[in-house]
Amino acid sequence: MKPRKILHADCDCFYAAVEMRDNPALREVPLAIGGSAERRGVIATCNYPARAFGVRSAMPTARALRLCPDLILLPGDFERYRAVSREIQTIFSELTPLVEPLSLDEAFLDVSDVERFHGSATWMARWLKEETLRRTGITISVGAAPSKFLAKIASDWDKPDGLYVIAPEQVDDFVRHLPVKRLHGVGPANAAKLDAMGVETCEDLRHWTMDALVTRFGKFGQRLHELARGIDEREVKVERERKSVSVETTFERDLPDLATCQAALSPLVERLDERLQRHGQPRLDKLFVKVRFDDFSLTTLESGGYSISHENFAALLAQAWQRAKRPVRLLGVGVRLEPRDARRQLSLPL
């Protein structure tokens, strides 16, 4: 089989980029999009001048303002961002119908069978960058590789305004020297485990058998074993399957005890039910609650269940709160949806 050609296109600081495009005076000053500090907001994204001060996405706005007192903070205009995203996705679709959007600002494209540009993924990536900038004024970074996981790493390799290509013959050498912290799914906890094992690069990881990795990391151990060898057979999926639906609220003041948390639960459950109705009442697999305490520790608890009710979520919340018994700054409720494969299996005739 001929090698696949996968592109990963990622807009650079997308929300901030739209604001800077529409107001050039914002281009050279620290800028962030997010909620206000008074309302316990967080940063959705920020531009590169803000990042120079240490401001990052998902950071509490109050902390961002301490790091950068001159930070310009804007609320998100998501209707405008969605409109720009649709323009960019249209450009992607002109190159190939095999586009898998991941969010408003990034997507995978399978260009294996595209004959334009003499079939060169590098030229296709350049065309995407030039057309997106010309038509929308937004800069994107693009990575090209034979697999999705490497294409995503490549798009982030030379940001901002990057273009990085990993050719098939370069894969093994590139992956050998790749820090394991760059692998998808290796967060702080798994990174600490790998560091304790003396594993810094994928070459180090290759010395561990799959059985040993599964023993230490569970199911993710098999994934680590594959990624360390550059193996990723996932296809670009034009239709992405929604796996969950949830709602959450960050409170202006911490909820001091379980009783107060329970009282705040009903509006969340109502919002969740309304959102599920908009999605056509999909089949449910599990219910879950999400609790962030005042020390920013986070816990999530789920259970099997098919009924959206205050009582079911209240029982989960009571168990989750017991894990820390601290004031609560954020509450969320949600459902995991039944996978399509499971629905197809249930519909098979006996």
Active site residues: 106
C-alpha–C-alpha distance, residues 57 and 35, integer Å: 12
326, 294 contact by CB (below 8 A): yes
141, 160 contact by CB (below 8 A): yes
Sequence length of the chain is 350
The pair of structure tokens assigned to 92 is 């992607």
| Nearest CA among 337, 316, 325 for reference residue 265 | 316
For 257, other C-beta atoms within 10 Å of its C-beta total 12
According to the annotation, is 341 in a ligand binding site? Answer: no
According to the annotation, is 77 in a ligand binding site? Answer: no
The pair of structure tokens assigned to 317 is 């919340």
Query: Which residue pairs, CB below 8 angstroms and at least 24 apart, start in 337-341?
Result: 337/242, 337/243, 337/244, 337/245, 337/282, 337/283, 337/284, 337/285, 338/282, 338/283, 338/284, 338/285, 339/241, 339/243, 339/285, 340/241
138, 84 contact by CB (below 8 A): yes
Question: Which residues have a Cβ under 8 Å from the Cβ of 164 and sit 6 or more positions away?
Answer: 143, 144, 154, 155, 157, 158
- Binding residues for Mg(2+), by number, are 10, 105
Q: Which residues are annotated as a binding site?
A: 10, 105
